[in-house]
Amino acid sequence: MAEKVKSPHMGRREFTKIVTAFLGTVMGAIVGIPIIGYVIDPALQSQESDDWISLGPLENYPIGIPTPFTFTQTKVNGWERTTLSYGTYVLRYSETENDLKVLSSRCTHLSCRVTWKEETESYDCPCHDAKFDIEGEVLYGPPPHPLDEYAHKVEEGVLFINPTPLEA
Amino acid sequence: MAEKIFTWLDERLALETIYGAVLDRKVPKVNWWFTLGSASLFLFVMQGITGIFLTMYYVPDPQKAYDSIEYIMNGLAFGWLIRGIHHWGASLMVLVVFLHMLRTFFYGAYKYPREMTWITGVLLLLLTLGMGFTGYLLPWNQRAYWATTVGTAIAGSVPFVGDFILQVMRGGTDLSALTLTRFFSAHIWMLPAALAGLIGVHMYLIIRLGISHVPKEDE
- The model's pLDDT over A72-117, given as tens digits with 9 standing for 90+, comes to 887 788 888 888 888 889 888 888 888 888 888 888 889 889 999 9
Report the pLDDT averaged over residues A150-155.
87
The chain A residue lying nearest B67, using CA atoms, is A79
Q: Does A34 touch chain B (CB under 8 A)?
A: yes
Q: Does A32 touch chain B (CB under 8 A)?
A: no
| A161 phi, psi to nearest 5 deg | -130, 155
CB A104 within 8 A of CB A149: yes
pLDDT for position B24: 87
Point out the residue among A35, A39, A79 whose CB comes nearest to the CB of B64.
A79
CB B77 within 8 A of CB A41: yes
- The model's pLDDT over B100-135, given as tens digits with 9 standing for 90+, comes to 999 999 999 999 999 999 999 999 999 999 999 999
Q: How confident is the model at residue B70 (pLDDT cuts 50, 70, 90)?
A: very high
Give the whole-angstrom CA distance, residue B57 versus residue B73: 11
Q: What ipTM does the predicted assembly reach?
A: 0.83
DSSP helix/strand/coil, A87: strand
Burial class of residue A4 (count of CB atoms within 10 Å of its CB; 0-12, 13-18, 19+): exposed
Residue A87's DSSP bridge partners are A70
- The model's pLDDT over B205-214, given as tens digits with 9 standing for 90+, comes to 999 998 998 9
Give the whole-angstrom CA distance, residue A70 versus residue A84: 11
**CA distance readout (Å), B2 to A14, A105, B8, B9, B131:** 19, 58, 10, 11, 42
The chain A residue lying nearest B64, using CA atoms, is A79
Q: How many CA atoms lie within 13 A of A158 on its CB side?
A: 8
Contact list in B for residue A34 (CB cut-off 8 A) is 77-78, 81-82
Q: Does A30 touch chain B (CB under 8 A)?
A: no
Verify whether the Cβ–Cβ distance B71 to A38 is below 8 Å. Answer: no
Point out the residue among B59, B68, B76 whose CB comes nearest to the CB of A38.
B76
Contact list in A for residue B77 (CB cut-off 8 A) is 34, 37-38, 41, 44
Neighbours of B92 (CB within 10 A): 16
Q: How confident is the model at residue A45 (pLDDT cuts 50, 70, 90)?
A: confident
Length in residues, chain B: 219
The chain A residue lying nearest B58, using CA atoms, is A79
Using a pLDDT cut of 90, give the percent of chain B over it: 90
- The model's pLDDT over B165-176, given as tens digits with 9 standing for 90+, comes to 999 999 999 999
Residue of A20, A36, A38 to mutate for B, most B C-beta atoms under 10 A: A38
pLDDT for position B168: 95
Contact list in B for residue A35 (CB cut-off 8 A) is 49, 53, 78, 82
